[in-house]
Amino acid sequence: MKISKLKTLLSKTACVMLLVLIPSWSHNAAAQSKGSEIFGTYNNGCIRGAVPLNSGEHYQVLIYGEGRNYGHPSLIDFVHKLVQRSHAQGLPDLLISDMSKHYGGPFGAGSAHGSHNIGLDVDVSFDFASPRKSGVELRNPKDIFMVDTKQRPTVYFTRERAELIRLATQDPRVERIFVAPGIKRGLCELYRDSDRSWLRKVRPWFGHRAHMHVRLQCPADSPYCKKQLPPPAGDGCGEELASWFKPPKPAAGGKKTVTKPKPRVLPGQCRAVLQGR
Ligand SMILES: [Zn+2]
């Protein structure tokens, strides 16, 4: 893929009312939200007052040593609502993967995550938590790939996983969901004869074969949370998706242009936040 195309996509992605409402949880989330504030962007920022998500009824949370199960209260609320909606639709229990660290910020060297900095991103595994996982299994998750390395559907490209992705788009706080290009292509085909407007939020991206990465929009309580542009209009099933499957064009004049990424500097407010102050 060409660098210019990557940049365009990166700048665009810089990442129904619910049937089942839980008044007590919503109330708690609203109350907790008061102490929480986000600074910066999804891939360069931090969060004060993040809340941990722990395993509960009809879902489990993967256990990572460093504690990556923190999020803005709106993200915690999103997960709970998704669990409720999925359960109401008869889907298996959900398996929740990476969110953010306690105060957000980068995951550090060696991590595959470029984002997850501000408590608004959550990875939802394409493995399910039915039957319920043991502690050992939660510490050693296995990858369930919906598409193979050539982006072709596997036996795990099932209607219930497709429905899980569709259900996640129904929350108005969800701005984008990143999945592998082959998954987006499969969804475009699967829902060819029905309403595909929800697919606007489902964005093709590298990786993301074994989980979907859900990103919420900046919440109202965080004026320093840097908003992203909304996804392009339309369901994204046409030209844009096709471009992911075309071989990259050779660079003009046969010369390779290599742009060195600039080192990231966290927003000033994050110095205090990351020290737990
Ligand atoms: Zn992710």
70 alpha carbon, distance to own chain's centre: 14
Instruction: Tell how far the Cα of 255 is from the centroid of ligand 1, in angstroms.
Output: 33
What would the pLDDT profile of 63-122 be if each residue is shown by its tens digit? 987 789 999 999 999 999 999 999 999 999 999 999 999 999 988 766 777 899 999 999
And the tokens for 271?
A: 């110095």
Average pLDDT over residues 114-139: 96
Tell me, in angstroms, the distance from the centre of ligand 1 to residue 19's CA.
Answer: 26
Q: What are the tokens at 102?
A: 């306690």
162-205 pLDDT, tens digit per residue, is 999 999 999 999 999 999 999 999 999 999 999 999 999 999 99
CB neighbour class for 125 (10 Å; exposed up to 12, middle 13-18, buried from 19): buried
Backbone dihedral region of 234: left (phi > 0), alpha (psi from -120 to 50 degrees) or beta?
Answer: left
Q: Domain 3-274 has what CATH class? A: alpha beta
Residue 16 scores a pLDDT above 60: no
Q: Is the pTM of this model over 0.75?
A: yes
Q: What pLDDT was estimated at residue 229?
A: 94
The domain spans of the chain are 3-274
What is the Cα–Cα distance from 100 to 196, expressed in whole angstroms? 30
Cα 189 to ligand 1 centre (Å): 24
Ligand 1 centroid to residue 166 C-alpha, Å: 17
